Structure 1
Amino acid sequence: MTSTLTAADVKRHKWWGWGLDDSRFRWDNKPAFAPFAKNRVGVDLTAKDPGPDPELTDFDVPASRLPEDVREALAGIVGQENLRVDDEYRVVHSFGRSLADLFRVRSGDFARLVDAVVYPGSEEEVAAVLRLVLEKDLVLIPYGGGSCISGSVTPDVSEERPILTVNIGRMREVLDIDETAGLARIEAGAYGPDLEEQLTARGWTLGHFPDSFTYSTLGGWAATRSSGMQSDKYGDIEDIVRGMRVVHPRGTVVTKPIPGRDSGPSVHEMILGSEGRLGVITECTVQVHRIAPVRQVIAYMYPDWEHGIRGMHAIARSTDVSPTFTRLSDGPETEFSLTMVKEPTSTKGKVAAKVQDGLFAYLRSQGWDTSGEMSISYVCFEGSKEAVDAQKTIVKKIVKANGGITLGAGPGAIYDQKKFDTPYLRDFLMSYDVFGDVCDTGATWSKINEVHARVYEAYYAKLEELGLDGFMFCHMSHSYHSGACLYFTFAVPYSATEKALEEYQACKDAVQQAFVDLGSTVSHHHAVGTEHQPWITEDIGEGGVALIQGLFEGSDPGRNLNPGKIVSP
């Protein structure tokens, strides 16, 4: 069945940043934020006017290279209203949301744009588009929500062939729910909010909530091995996606959602994380869960990172609790989080602020360093009221045994409400000539403190070498039996020179190199694309790279499917 929606019904980012035009990060209602920015990054927010938003008409946008006969053929497949060659659509779909992408797009660096954006409304139309791509020797780049920060949807500047982006955002329906098996068939173009709204209406949830939830799709999650903040309970996307339909040059690939497959090397696993190089994912069969009657996020505080990690490890190893998520911010991130608190205007807010001041005074009297060492933690519980209460009691004892205290549900509720707001901060910082970016890795419990410390050392050593100011913080999330994810955020100001990206890249390279030198992963959940490709050999070895190259070359000998991503030819 072909979708009745059109390209105009598919949401997209503003061309120069994250989210919609009317969404912004504000600092003027956060009294601690401006002093923090000045002290930690050397930026005086009160001394600079960031100016108006960029206008696409201020830049020269290269014309589409799409031949007229191909344009007519594509319009015949998807309909004229679902073929877009106008400048803004092409710019939006030529960049992901990596920092390098955002800097280039805001600078008008349009060295190579896609030549058309195609919005198929069915798997049959996707297959017809792919047949045309192969017949005319075009390049096809599948596009989910465009939220990737790994360069996975950005075209190669050296590519001379016409490039198509295929956006399957018209295909976003929950097709069926097998309530006995707890499986749902969902079209791959479904954005997170659309997907959850349809499932919630029937009492179910996928439970997958990445930071990019608002602007990412099910197919994109599968194609980049996404991980959501609730993975402690619901699993990473490879645990959630049990079956797929994928349009491939040799026909549709179908993987069955049957437990305990034993059919040789896993085709299913090959496609997960393949970033469009093995075809276009059109449908996923996923595990779904009944919505829990009670959901609560509780905040805790530890005197420092080391005590917090011991607490997180104890929770992960406990046989009596199974939290939905566990998160620990280190001292610098906790300090940053406190700057994001809005100035209280209500009586309730003012009382809460006084309570916090009293708490911090008490902690200082007990020897805590409340200015930079203490680490806040959030733990989410779901289930019946009795089960949630029982698990909260156990975790409270674990936290206390590891030197922490319980703050309660108030801070946890605020965190839960604001969890998707962070990406807007990058746009804001860039308007003040500050790069803000993230790097994530996986580490075992036995090495997690070493990785945490050594990455800081590598980053600040690079800043000193370059003579730059900067700041870094980190949190632990995505807890597993053997380890967890470490998610580093860093900020570095830049001058408006040609060296800006070069200096930023040197800082990021130092962090990424520290990951692989310490035996950690090149990325925990942000894909490879082109951003992390320089470390792929160190991550999986020359033999692993050769296997992947052989797979891609055998499957796509003409290099028509998103060439250049993950591994180079």
Structure 2
Amino acid sequence: MTATNPQNSVKHMKWWGWGVEGVAFHFDDKPKFAPFVKKAVGLDLTKNNPPKVQDFSQLTIPAAKVSDDLLTQLKGAVGSEYVTSDDEERVVHTYGKSLRDLLRVRASDLPRVPDVVVYPGEEDEVQAIVDLAVAADAVLIPFGGGSNISGSLEPPAAETRTVISLDMGRLSKLIDIDEEAGLARIQAGAQGPDLEEQLNARGWTVGHFPDSFNHSTIGGWVATRSSGMQSDKYGDIADITRGVRVATPGGPLVLRPLPSTSTGPSVREMILGSEGRLGVITEVTAHVHRLPDERVILAYFFPTFDAGLEAMHDISLLDFRPSITRVSDAGETGFTMATAKKSSAGQAILFKVLQRRGWDLDKMCLSFIGYEGTKSHVSRQQAEVKEIVKKHGGIGVGKGPGVLYDQKKFDTPYIRDFLLDWGGAADVSETAGPWSNLKDLYYNTIEAANDAYAELGVDPGWIMCHLSHSYHSGACLYFTFAFAYGDQDPIPMYDKVKGAIQQSFIDNGGTLSHHHAVGTEHSPWLAQDISPAGTKIMKGLFAAVDPGRNFNPGKITG
């Protein structure tokens, strides 16, 4: 079942996978999907191999370790109905949703789970829990929606102190909007859909739509330096966040939502991406925008990925910002088409026309570009982009694919879970690099992954990519990789491929992560990314604020 705290309305994803009960990927109406998977990773989905049944009763869960005294104090702080040591609640709060997380929880690999889950309902209650945790020398791990895929949630396996998971789900309200300044005060536990519903009802949007939108919170976005599908227009969460309130040892940190300041090193920047190491984010003041008069996503095809990258670069230099600039390589384009329903007659005609023009359909790349604003502004954007697309040999294919993309944009993780049921491992790694070496970053990373597959004896292995966010100086490249693991332990295989991809990012001028955070998954590459001196500064910051290592220890810097 979908875990729900029995005393309140906070809902969570399935303990064993992504999303909610009753929603799952199927390919009955997707005739190209099974052949694509067979070619890509060698899995035969036509065999009678039903998905594994997830049975919570088969898990072995360590007993909770929390003193009666601390339990009484926590109940006194938030109310007894909002403190629980229920086993399913504890398991739900143990891991995020990376491939490693799902493999371990399904295998009952639970060396350390939170001992108690607490649901505060007010900022004062969060502060009280923070103070109690420090006084008791307990470990406190903030929990938003549980969607993290970088190892930012799990308790250290060797941790002997009481571990408290502080679930922010009850703090989910839009507090108010300063309409003149375009600023909204938002409680940190507000998940994406609930937040947008509250904003939209008053004619506003925050414009932040990460892949995890349906199951992640604004506090989590800030804590991991999130980016969204429309960040080209609205900015990453670092641009959107203007003020924060954070429960820290001894009292709240309050950063007012000023447009700009010259007050020394930015404390706001220290909180962004801090993953709970500096305290618990309780409130975010964010830029918000009036809902646009018009919003449209158009699809385009480019003859090659290189042509698509060059077009995205040119678009980034225009004097306006589309809301979305996305182009998939040939592999991801093939995957996207394989997840569609039966091809239309019009699509078949288009492909024949492109072939007559000399296009190699195996190299063709699909792109989505989004436009928002007044009708005249959107028309101007489309006209200028049309010229750039034409310059790079591309062709527009209208709104239809864009509408489908908009409807399905948050569904990909369900496919990852489906493949896992059938013995296929899939996950993602993303980076950002300058335009000047983006192609080298792409091609060398593809080569690094394929070399890792060859060393493992995996034939075939799969890796695909899309450009997902454009900036003045560069862009984000988002890679998805997959392989069938058969009777082998998939985690060492995953480590080999993931490690090769991550090292390629660093070796080719990219960052270890563009928007998935550091956690434990990416921390081995931190010193190479920000230099040993940078890591030393970061460790010093954490030690100064949290000398007892009570706040989510082990994340980012170890």
Instruction: Compute the TM-score of the two structures, normalised by the length of structure 1.
Output: 0.96
- Which residue of structure 1 lines up, in the alignment, with residue 101 of structure 2? 101
- Which residue of structure 1 lines up, in the alignment, with residue 266 of structure 2? 266
Q: Verify: 1:337 aligned to 2:354, yes or no.
A: no
Query: Structure 1 residues 7-16 or 484-493, which shifts more?
Result: 7-16
- Which residue of structure 2 lines up, in the alignment, with residue 369 of structure 1? 360
Distance of 2:274 and 2:464 partners within structure 1: 30
- Which residue of structure 1 lines up, in the alignment, with residue 434 of structure 2? 444
After superposition, the Cα gap between the structure-2 partners of 1:87 and 1:526, relative to the gap in structure 1 and judged at 3 Å, is same
- Which residue of structure 2 lines up, in the alignment, with residue 325 of structure 1? 324
Distance of 1:214 and 1:515 partners within structure 2: 29
* Counterpart contact for 2:226–2:236, Cα < 8 Å: yes
Distance of 1:109 and 1:29 partners within structure 2: 35
Distance of 1:330 and 1:7 partners within structure 2: 47
Distance of 2:188 and 2:416 partners within structure 1: 28
Distance of 2:194 and 2:445 partners within structure 1: 38
* Counterpart contact for 2:425–2:490, Cα < 8 Å: no
- 1:242-292 deviation digits (Å, cap 9, x = unpaired): 000000003100111111211111111101100000000000000000000
- Which of 404, 413, 420 lines up with 2:410 in the alignment? 420
Runs of 4+ displaced beyond 6 Å? none
Distance of 2:478 and 2:21 partners within structure 1: 28
- Which residue of structure 1 lines up, in the alignment, with residue 486 of structure 2? 495
* Counterpart contact for 1:140–1:166, Cα < 8 Å: yes
Query: 1:8 offset after TM fit, Å?
Result: 2.8
* Counterpart contact for 1:25–1:428, Cα < 8 Å: yes
- Which residue of structure 2 lines up, in the alignment, with residue 257 of structure 1? 257
Distance of 1:561 and 1:180 partners within structure 2: 37
Query: Structure 1 residues 226-235 or 380-389, which shifts more?
Result: 380-389
Distance of 1:480 and 1:50 partners within structure 2: 44
The residue correspondences of 1:6-25 to structure 2 (distance < 5 A) are: 8-25=8-25
Distance of 1:261 and 1:428 partners within structure 2: 48
Query: 1:48 offset after TM fit, Å?
Result: 4.0
Query: Structure 1 residues 251-260 or 190-199, which shifts more?
Result: 251-260
- Which residue of structure 2 lines up, in the alignment, with residue 396 of structure 1? 386
Indicate the percent of aligned positions where both proteins have the same amino acid: 52
- The residue identity in structure 2 corresponding to 1:364 is Q
Query: 1:322 offset after TM fit, Å?
Result: 2.0
Distance of 2:381 and 2:237 partners within structure 1: 26
Q: What SS does the corresponding residue of 1:13 show, helix, strand or coil?
A: strand
Query: 1:76 offset after TM fit, Å?
Result: 1.3
After superposition, the Cα gap between the structure-2 partners of 1:424 and 1:51, relative to the gap in structure 1 and judged at 3 Å, is closer
- Which residue of structure 2 lines up, in the alignment, with residue 347 of structure 1? none
* Counterpart contact for 1:7–1:170, Cα < 8 Å: no
Query: 1:325 offset after TM fit, Å?
Result: 1.0
Query: 1:7 offset after TM fit, Å?
Result: 5.4
- The residue identity in structure 2 corresponding to 1:106 is R
Q: What SS does the corresponding residue of 2:11 show, helix, strand or coil?
A: coil
- Which residue of structure 2 lines up, in the alignment, with residue 85 of structure 1? 85
Distance of 2:552 and 2:271 partners within structure 1: 14
Q: What SS does the corresponding residue of 1:263 show, helix, strand or coil?
A: coil
The residue correspondences of 1:27-106 to structure 2 (distance < 5 A) are: 27-106=27-106
The residue correspondences of 1:166-185 to structure 2 (distance < 5 A) are: 166-185=166-185
Distance of 1:393 and 1:544 partners within structure 2: 44
- Which residue of structure 2 lines up, in the alignment, with residue 346 of structure 1? none
* Counterpart contact for 2:445–2:504, Cα < 8 Å: yes
Q: Verify: 1:521 aligned to 2:550, yes or no.
A: no
Query: 1:388 offset after TM fit, Å?
Result: 1.0
- Which residue of structure 2 lines up, in the alignment, with residue 237 of structure 1? 237
- Which residue of structure 1 lines up, in the alignment, with residue 285 of structure 2? 285
- Which residue of structure 2 lines up, in the alignment, with residue 563 of structure 1? 553
Distance of 2:74 and 2:229 partners within structure 1: 39
- 1:18-47 deviation digits (Å, cap 9, x = unpaired): 111111011121100000011111000111
Distance of 1:110 and 1:7 partners within structure 2: 26
Q: Verify: 1:385 aligned to 2:384, yes or no.
A: no
- Which residue of structure 2 lines up, in the alignment, with residue 348 of structure 1? none
Distance of 2:312 and 2:217 partners within structure 1: 30
- Which of 410, 416, 426 lines up with 2:400 in the alignment? 410
* Counterpart contact for 2:441–2:509, Cα < 8 Å: no
Instruction: Compute the TM-score of the two structures, normalised by the length of structure 2.
Output: 0.98
RMSD: 1.1
Q: What SS does the corresponding residue of 1:193 show, helix, strand or coil?
A: helix
Q: What SS does the corresponding residue of 2:12 show, helix, strand or coil?
A: coil
- Which residue of structure 1 lines up, in the alignment, with residue 344 of structure 2? 353
- Which of 463, 476, 481 lines up with 1:485 in the alignment? 476
* Counterpart contact for 1:6–1:170, Cα < 8 Å: no
- 1:299-339 deviation digits (Å, cap 9, x = unpaired): 000000111111111111122x4201100001111011100
Query: 1:496 offset after TM fit, Å?
Result: 3.5
After superposition, the Cα gap between the structure-2 partners of 1:7 and 1:496, relative to the gap in structure 1 and judged at 3 Å, is farther
- 1:478-533 deviation digits (Å, cap 9, x = unpaired): 10000000000010111344x32011110000000000111210000000000000
Distance of 2:21 and 2:50 partners within structure 1: 16
Distance of 1:364 and 1:186 partners within structure 2: 52
* Counterpart contact for 1:439–1:523, Cα < 8 Å: yes
Query: 1:549 offset after TM fit, Å?
Result: 0.6
Question: Unaligned 5+ residue runs, structure 2?
Answer: none
Query: 1:342 offset after TM fit, Å?
Result: 1.4
Question: Unaligned 5+ residue runs, structure 1?
Answer: 344-351
